[in-house]
């Protein structure tokens, strides 16, 4: 086996708390998915939804337990890869699967009824949740988490304290899930539907903060985070090369992902409009040429 690959595989840290939560989420989803399939509700329990959900959980485990996390303590660019996974790729995959109905169906009946009771239109919990999770507030939380945890003092503190580092990861994942929730249109749909223009705008507004942080890391002449001056260097990469690569990841690929999201939203909208137009023509007995 390739020595680099062997070393990467050997660095996996099987943390019981992370494994327990992840496997519980997988088990509840699997139970709900199988139950819905048996009920013939194929649209909610499609194979592609199962694949997206499980891939999201797999990437979550990779971000938190694999060499990505271990090397993130030694290489800034690897830490940025971890942030991209927790803030973007994992939440998008999980929410693309629209997991809430499936997870709900996977719960015991008593727990399912309790959740439904909390989410009824007249329920106070639903009203307060809707008020606290306005899309504008979720955008502020998302960008605020990114800016806050890239502050030099807090970043260095997190690298030296395991509990604070775990809090950073939890903050990124929760902020990512909340931000992408209305953008993806996933259930539970307790807000008024965000317009296409609104969803596109909020994605585009995510680009400038990433550009600023990425440019700062790429173009400053001195190391931004003292932590990386105190750890061994890997792969012949010095501190500034590592920092510039981290800045490029924060700047270009991340920004392109938001722009890709805008393109996908627009393409889906045009496709749905074409379908509605086509069905309207069919109902009127008009053949398109």
Please give the average pLDDT of every successive group of 10 residues along the chain, which has 289 residues: 66 92 98 97 96 98 95 95 98 97 97 96 94 95 97 94 96 98 94 91 97 96 96 93 97 95 94 79 51
Token pair for 102? 């499936």
Helix axis angle for 207-219 and 135-149, nearest 10°, is 10
Q: What is the pLDDT of residue 8?
A: 66
Residue 288 lies in a domain: no
Tell which residue, 252, 246, 255, has the closest CA to residue 217: 246
User: 251 with 215: CB under 8 angstroms?
Assistant: yes
- pLDDT value, residue 4: 60
Residue 104 lies in a domain: yes
Cα angle 208-199-128, degrees, rounded to a multiple of 5:
105
In a domain, 7, yes or no: no
Looking at the chain, how many residues does it have?
289
Per-residue tokens: 41: 């509700």
The answer to whether residue 289 sits within a structural domain is: no
Contact between 216 and 251 under an 8 Å Cβ cutoff? The reply is no
pLDDT at position 123, please? 95
The answer to whether residue 4 sits within a structural domain is no
User: Quick one: which of 113, 67, 96 has its CA closest to 177?
Assistant: 96
What's residue 194's pLDDT?
A: 87
Q: Hunting for tokens 């991340």 — which residue is that?
A: 254
Give me 72's structure tokens: 């993130």
Q: Of the candidates 192, 44, 19, 55, which has an alpha carbon nearest to the alpha carbon of residue 104?
A: 44
> How far apart, in whole angstroms, are the C-alpha atoms of residue 240 and residue 248?
12
Domain range for 247 is 13-283
Tokens 């086996």, residue located: 1
Distance CA 49, CA 12 (A): 27
Asked, for residue 125, whether it belongs to a domain, the answer is: yes
- Cα distance between residue 203 and residue 142, in whole Å: 11
The Cα–Cα gap between 157 and 151 comes to: 10
3-class SS shares of the chain: helix, strand, coil, % to 5? 75, 0, 25
For residue 230, the 8-state DSSP code is: S
| Overall domain count for the chain | 1
pLDDT, position 226:
95
> Considering the domain boundaries, does residue 2 fall inside one?
no
pLDDT attached to residue 284: 56
Q: Is residue 156 part of a domain?
A: yes
């Amino acid at each position: 086996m390739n020595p680099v690959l062997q070393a990467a595989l050997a660095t996996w840290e099987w943390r019981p708390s992370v494994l327990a939560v992840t496997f519980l989420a997988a088990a509840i989803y699997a139970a709900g998915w199988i139950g819905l399939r048996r009920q013939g509700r194929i649209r909610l329990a499609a194979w592609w939804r199962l694949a997206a959900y499980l891939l999201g959980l797999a990437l979550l485990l990779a971000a938190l337990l694999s060499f990505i996390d271990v090397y993130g303590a030694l290489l800034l660019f690897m830490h940025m890869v971890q942030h991209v996974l927790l803030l973007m790729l994992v939440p998008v995959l999980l929410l693309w699967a629209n997991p809430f109905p499936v997870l709900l169906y996977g719960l015991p009946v008593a727990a399912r009824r309790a959740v439904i009771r909390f989410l009824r239109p007249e329920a106070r919990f639903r009203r307060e949740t809707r008020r606290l999770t306005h899309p504008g507030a979720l955008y502020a939380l998302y960008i605020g988490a990114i800016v806050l945890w890239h502050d030099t003092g807090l970043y260095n503190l997190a690298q030296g304290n395991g509990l604070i580092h775990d809090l950073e990861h939890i903050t990124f994942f929760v902020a990512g899930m909340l931000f992408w929730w209305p953008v993806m249109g996933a259930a539970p749909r307790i807000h008024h539907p965000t317009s296409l223009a609104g969803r596109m705008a909020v994605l585009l507004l995510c680009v400038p903060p990433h550009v600023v942080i990425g440019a700062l890391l790429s173009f400053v002449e001195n190391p931004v985070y003292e932590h990386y001056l105190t750890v061994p260097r890997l792969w012949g990469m010095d501190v500034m090369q590592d920092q510039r690569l981290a800045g490029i990841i924060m700047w270009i690929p991340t920004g392109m992902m938001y722009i890709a999201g805008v393109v996908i939203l627009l393409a889906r909208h045009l496709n749905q409009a074409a379908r509605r137009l086509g069905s309207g023509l069919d109902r009127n007995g008009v053949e398109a040429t």
